[in-house]
Amino acid sequence: MGLLVAQLLAGLANAAALFLVASGLSLIFGVTRIVNFAHGSLYMLGAYCGYTALQYLTGPLGFWAAALAAAVAVGLFGLLVECLILRRLYKAPELFQLVATFGVVLVVQDLTLMLWGAEDLLGPRAPGLDRAVMLFGQPVPEYDLALIAVAPLVLLGLWLLMTKTRAGILIRAATQDREMVGALGINQSLLFSGVFFLGAALAGLGGALQLPKGGADLTLDLGILAPAFVVVVIGGMGSIGGAFVAAVLISVVNVFGVLYLPESTLVLMYVVMAVVLLVRPHGLFGRAELQAGPPAAGIPDRPLAPLGPRWRTAALALIGLLAVLPLIGSDFALVLATDIVVLALFAASLHFMLSLGGLISFGHAALFGGGAYAAALAVTYAETPMELALLLAPLAGGWLAFAIGWFCLRLTGVYFAMLTLAFAQLLWSLAFQWTEVTGGDDGLIGIWPAAWASDGTVYYYLTIVLGGGAILMLRHLAHSPFGYALRAARDSEKRARVSGIRVDRVRLAAMVVSGTMAGLAGGLFVFSKGSVFPSALEIARSFDALIMVFLGGVDALGGPLVGAAALTLLQDWLSRLESWRLLLGLAVIAIVLLAPTGIAGFAGRLLRRREAS
């Protein structure tokens, strides 16, 4: 009994920070329709700012003042991000907004590293609340009790703000009907900035209040992101009350998970999410109409055309160059080229569903890593030959895509994006925590190619043939009746339905194709590196795919190739510099703001303009 109560209280205390982050995320989404992927970064900044503030503010009052100061500082930082970047993107396609916020994630990571250093900071105890009280014979930290009180207080404050003040009523009105509020002559940009400040401050407060329990380190940002998404999805987009209930639910399930199923704690919350979504597809308190409208990924209005003679020559020249590269290039060039082809296939597989299908996946790493782990597991436990493993990898990717698609395709737009990310995190958790099978953080090693392909040059050719062939297949599919049906469903879902296209099945099939190709990329990746680690499934890997698609240009079929080359070379070049994340982040943000059609799209436009004149 005592133990149960103690666990329950610990769960409730953990819910506080999660609720603060998720409510801010939900609030910002409700009003601006932007899913702020940098929200975890704001949480991390809150922790670091709070730590610094505590160097100057002491005593019980000082602690709470420091937390508030951190919240205000992070709120101001959020305001800065809103004014400088996001304000220009409210009318842009979702993908651009999401990529820009991820650019902010990268920038904040490096800024934090520069300002506070790489070492984990130990959180100070909260003065006056540093003891434990005995409840039912179990010690319960006083600070936990304080946190348990904080979350409902913030909820109450938000409720008062939303129902009793003019600003709050405007926020609610904007959440329900953004255009109406605009039509009423309300200063929208002030409202949006205000909401961003509030949402960021809530995340900052969450980070600062978490200090005595967890301290501050550089993994806080992406660490909280997936749980916060899960909470928002379970609670229902835009619902603050829902965020509270879901945060409590997840945290309590989590502490009991630690008690009874210690190997599955990370997986448990995704299971809860899946169950909730099966029963209520829009979350506990979500409404269908709050879903973002049709998926929009920068819809290309230009019809697809076969390659012109000039591009055909360029493509043949590229293939020729790849064929003779082992003769003219260094070993390093071969490694780099192998990486580029693998990544290009990974990017092309995402491009297929994202650009042609309008399905923005934020968890594409699930399919890449899924294929990689399938091959590695088969080799490790069944001594499967490489040839068979390279067949298993795409099969696994396809099956995973089928399962994920079956769950996620009932939702559209950003909801779909968040759900795919959650599923990718589920797989990452499995790979990370199921140590007996996956090796956990140590990964699976010694996955080398068959003897005939063990030479670097031979494996390079194998990669070119399989990876390049798969990319050409995807390209062919785009021009096939199936590709047209997929595009029709994206252009106008209702027209497609009444024209006899099975929209849901077409989309699911596209996901399976995409997953198969991503899985193959994963398989090729494993044998080229000789190992696989959970990093093949992590959020950053999914973002790599998005950034490649984005760098190359969403509406250019050749985009993924250009994007993969750009990202690989950029990372190779930037990683020699100390703060490459900062530079990459700034580059991504600059491209979103200045050249939103991507490199290939930009070049294509220049060419067309020259041809026209």
Q: Where are the beta strands (DSSP E) in 280-349?
A: none
Q: Which two tokens stand for residue 490?
A: 């994206």
At its nearest, how many Å lie between other proteins and the CB of residue 253? Answer: 37
User: According to the binding rule CB under 8 A, does residue 282 interact with other proteins?
Assistant: no
Among 199, 394, 483, 522, indicate the residue that binds other proteins (CB under 8 A): 483
Enumerate residues 6+ apart whose C-beta is below 8 A from 233: 273, 277, 283, 415, 418, 419, 422
Where does this chain touch other proteins (CB under 8 A) — which range of 81-89, 176-184, 496-504, 527-535?
Answer: 496-504
Residue ranges of alpha helices (H) inside 556-595 are 559-574, 580-594
Does 499 bind other proteins (CB under 8 A)? Our answer is: yes
| CB proximity list for 129: less than 8 A, separation 6 or greater | 60, 141, 142, 143, 145, 146, 212
Element spanning 451, H or E: none
Burial class (CB in 10 A: 0-12, 13-18, 19+), 129: middle
Binding residue (CB under 8 A) for other proteins from 88, 131, 502, 608: 502
Question: Is the Cβ of residue 477 or residue 587 nearer to other proteins in the bound state?
Answer: 477
Report 298-357 residues binding other proteins (CB under 8 A). 299-304, 306
DSSP 352: I
- Taking contact as CB under 8 A, which single stretch among the options 364-372, 490-498, 589-597, 599-607 is the one that binds other proteins? 490-498
User: Which is closer to other proteins, CB of 538 or CB of 555?
Assistant: 555
- Dihedral sign (CA 559, 564, 566, 571): positive
DSSP string, 398-456: HHHHHHHHHHHTTS-HHHHHHHHHHHHHHHHHHHHH-HHHH-GGG-EE--PPPGGG-SH
501 binds other proteins (CB under 8 A): yes
Binding mask 58-97 for other proteins (x = CB under 8 A): ----------------------------------------
With contacts defined by CB under 8 A, name the span among 382-390, 433-441, 483-491, 546-554 that binds other proteins. Answer: 483-491
477 binds other proteins (CB under 8 A): yes
Q: Least Å distance between CB 481 and other proteins? A: 4
Among residues 484 and 602, whose Cβ is nearest to other proteins?
A: 484
| Cα-Cα-Cα-Cα dihedral sign, residues 538, 542, 547, 548 | positive
Instruction: With H, G, I as helix, E, B as strand and everything else as coil, classify residue 134.
Output: strand
* Span interacting with other proteins, options 260-268, 297-305, 321-329, 412-420, rule CB under 8 A: 297-305
CA separation, residue 137 to residues 2, 81, 140 (Å): 6, 48, 9
Q: Which of residues 485, 562, 584, 592 is near other proteins by CB under 8 A? A: 485
Q: Are 200 and 24 spatial neighbours (Cβ–Cβ below 8 Å)?
A: yes
CB 445 within 8 A of CB 429: no
Tell me whether residue 466 or residue 486 sits nearer to other proteins (CB atom). 486
If the CB atoms of residues 464 and 508 are measured against other proteins, the closer one turns out to be 508
Closest to 191 (Cα-Cα) out of 14, 33, 384: 33
The percent helix, strand, coil of the chain (3-state, each to 5) is 80, 0, 20
User: CA angle at residue 421 from 203 to 522, to 5 degrees?
Assistant: 135
Residue with tokens 């434990």: 132
Cβ distance to other proteins smaller for residue 178 or 490 = 490
Beta carbon of residue 375, minimum distance to other proteins (angstroms, whole number) = 25
Per CB under 8 A, 488 contacts other proteins = yes
Query: Cα–Cα distance between 450 and 57 in angstroms, integer?
Result: 63
Could you tell me which stretch among 82-90, 205-213, 336-344, 473-481 binds other proteins (CB under 8 A)?
Answer: 473-481
Q: Does position 603 bind other proteins by CB under 8 A?
A: no
Note the residue count of the chain: 613
Per-residue interface string for the shown chain with other proteins, residues 504-543, x marking contact by CB under 8 A: -xx--x----------------------------------
Q: Cβ(300)–Cβ(422) under 8 Å?
A: no
Instruction: Dig out the tokens for 159 from the structure.
Output: 């409720």
Among 179, 481, 576, 610, binds other proteins (CB under 8 A): 481
Q: Whose Cβ is closer to other proteins: residue 42's or residue 489's?
A: 489
494 binds other proteins, rule: CB under 8 A: yes
d(CA 2, CA 9): 11
Task: State the nearest-atom distance from the C-beta of 560 to other proteins, in Å.
Answer: 18
Residue 495 interacts with other proteins (CB under 8 A)? yes
In the complex, minimum distance from the CB of residue 496 to other proteins, in angstroms, rounded to a whole number: 8
Q: Which of 88, 287, 310, 479 binds other proteins (CB under 8 A)?
A: 479
Shortest spacing between CB 104 and other proteins, in angstroms: 30
* Residue 91 or 576 with smaller CB distance to other proteins: 91
Distance of CA 83 to the CA centre of its chain: 23
Residue 402 binds other proteins (CB under 8 A): no
Give CA–CA dist 116/103, Å, rounded: 20
List contacts with other proteins (CB under 8 A). 299-304, 306, 476-477, 479-485, 487-488, 490-492, 494-503, 505-506, 509
